[in-house]
C-alpha cells in the first residue's frame, strides 16, 4: 500500500470516528469524550493539559486556527513545555508564509527548540498531549464552536498515526528560510545526536523525544545522510568536526549523565566498542 493511500485511509477513519461521535454524543460528557463549548474553555483545558504534560504535544494548525490572538495564548504554553525539556511539534499549512503573525510564531518556536513543518493541506485542527489526550474541533469549519477532549485509546491511535504520516511528508520550516540554515541541525536534531552519542537505541531515542519509532528512525537516517556517515560512530565524529557537537574532555566509555536512567541493554554497540562522547 502506498503512503498516500495509507494516509488517506487513516484520515477517513479519523473523520468517520468524528462523525460517529457527533451522532452518538449525549448532552453530557461521554466516557473518554468531553465537550468544551467555547474558546475560553478550550484555552483553559490546553493550559491544564500542557501544565500536566510529561512528554510533550503535537499540533496540526490550519489557517483558521492561527489568528494572532490564538497564537498569543498558545505561546506561553509552548514555552513552558520547552523549558521543561518536553517536545513541541507543530505542522502548519504552507500558506503560513503569507501570514506575518503565524510565521513569526512558527519561527520563534523553531528557534527555541520546537519542531515546525509545513504541508500543502491539513484535515483539521488537532492537539495531542503525551500521545494520550487529544483536542479535536466540534465543527472543523467553525473553530469558535469549541472542541472535544478525547482520551480513548482507539481514537488516539488514529490521531497519532495521522500526525506521524504528515510528519513524513512535511517540509521543515527552515528549508524555506534561505542560506545554509537547512544544513544546520535544529535543537531537536542536536538532542538526537547527543542521545546517539550516549549509545541509545532508536527505540530509546524515540521515547526521549516522545515520537513514534518510524519518525525517530527517519530523523536519524536524515542526520546520518547529511553527515555522510555509515555508522553512528562516524556520525558522531563528523558532527564534532562540523561543530554540531562539542567533544567532552573525558572521552571515555561512560555516557553523559541524563535526567533519566538509561535502560539496560539500550547501547547499540558491543561491550568495549568505541563510543563518541560529546556535549551539545
Q: Which domains does the chain have, with CATH numbers?
A: 3-176 (3.30.870.10), 186-279 (1.10.10.10)
| pLDDT interval class at 179 (50, 70, 90) | very low
Q: Is the pTM of this model over 0.95?
A: no
Average model confidence (pLDDT) across the chain? 77
What does the pLDDT average to over 61-73? 86
pLDDT value at residue 244: 80
CB-based contact 259:85 (threshold 8 Å):
yes
- Beta pairing class for 126-129 and 56-61: antiparallel
Within 13 A of 70's CA, how many CA atoms are on the CB side? 17
Q: Is the pLDDT of residue 130 over 80?
A: yes
DSSP 98-140: G-HHHHHHHHHHHHTT-EEEEES--SS-EEEETTTEEEEESST
User: Rounded distance, CA 139 to CA 147, Å?
Assistant: 8
Assigned C-alpha cell, 232: 553512528
Q: Is the pLDDT of residue 255 over 90?
A: no
User: Rounded distance, CA 110 to CA 90, Å?
Assistant: 9
**Residue 2, strand partner residues:** none
Assigned C-alpha cell, 248: 567532552
| pLDDT interval class at 168 (50, 70, 90) | confident
pLDDT value at residue 257: 36
CB-based contact 150:136 (threshold 8 Å):
yes
What does the pLDDT average to over 13-33? 57
pLDDT value at residue 242: 75
Assigned C-alpha cell, 135: 483536542
User: Rounded distance, CA 254 to CA 42, Å?
Assistant: 46
Rg (CA), the chain: 20
pLDDT value at residue 5: 59
Whole-angstrom CA distances from 155 to 13, 20, 34, 51, 246 are 9, 11, 14, 23, 43
| Closest to 207 in 3D by CA, of 128, 275, 269, 261 | 261
Q: Is the pLDDT of residue 122 over 60?
A: yes
What does the pLDDT average to over 25-46? 78
Assigned C-alpha cell, 191: 538532542
pLDDT value at residue 125: 92
Amino acid at each position: 500500500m502506498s503512503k498516500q493511500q495509507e494516509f488517506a485511509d487513516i484520515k477517513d477513519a479519523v473523520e468517520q470516528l468524528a462523525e460517529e461521535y457527533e451522532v452518538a454524543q449525549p448532552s453530557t460528557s461521554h466516557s473518554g469524550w468531553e465537550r468544551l463549548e467555547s474558546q475560553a474553555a478550550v484555552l483553559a483545558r490546553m493550559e491544564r493539559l500542557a501544565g500536566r504534560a510529561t512528554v510533550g504535544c503535537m499540533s496540526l494548525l490550519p489557517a483558521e486556527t492561527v489568528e494572532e490572538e490564538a497564537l498569543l495564548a498558545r505561546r506561553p504554553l509552548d514555552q513552558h513545555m520547552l523549558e521543561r525539556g518536553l517536545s513541541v511539534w507543530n505542522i502548519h499549512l504552507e500558506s503560513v508564509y503569507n501570514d506575518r503573525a503565524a510565521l513569526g510564531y512558527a519561527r520563534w518556536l523553531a528557534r527555541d527548540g520546537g519542531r515546525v513543518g509545513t504541508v500543502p493541506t491539513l484535515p483539521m485542527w488537532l492537539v495531542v498531549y503525551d500521545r494520550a489526550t487529544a483536542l479535536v474541533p466540534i465543527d472543523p469549519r467553525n473553530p469558535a464552536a469549541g472542541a472535544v477532549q478525547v482520551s480513548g485509546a482507539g481514537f488516539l491511535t488514529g490521531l497519532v498515526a495521522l500526525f506521524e504520516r504528515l510528519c513524513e511528508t512535511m517540509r521543515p520550516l527552515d528549508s524555506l528560510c534561505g542560506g545554509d540554515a537547512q544544513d544546520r541541525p535544529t535543537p531537536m536534531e542536536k538532542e538526537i545526536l547527543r542521545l546517539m552519542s550516549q549509545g541509545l537505541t532508536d527505540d530509546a531515542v524515540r521515547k526521549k523525544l516522545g515520537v513514534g519509532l518510524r519518525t525517530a528512525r527517519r530523523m536519524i537516517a536524515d542526520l546520518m545522510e547529511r553527515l555522510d556517515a555509515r555508522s553512528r560512530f562516524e556520525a558522531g565524529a563528523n558532527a564534532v568536526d562540523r561543530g554540531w557537537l562539542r567533544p567532552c574532555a573525558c572521552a571515555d566509555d561512560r555516557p553523559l549523565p541524563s535526567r533519566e536512567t538509561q535502560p539496560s541493554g539500550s547501547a547499540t554497540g558491543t561491550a568495549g566498542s568505541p563510543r563518541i562522547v560529546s556535549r551539545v
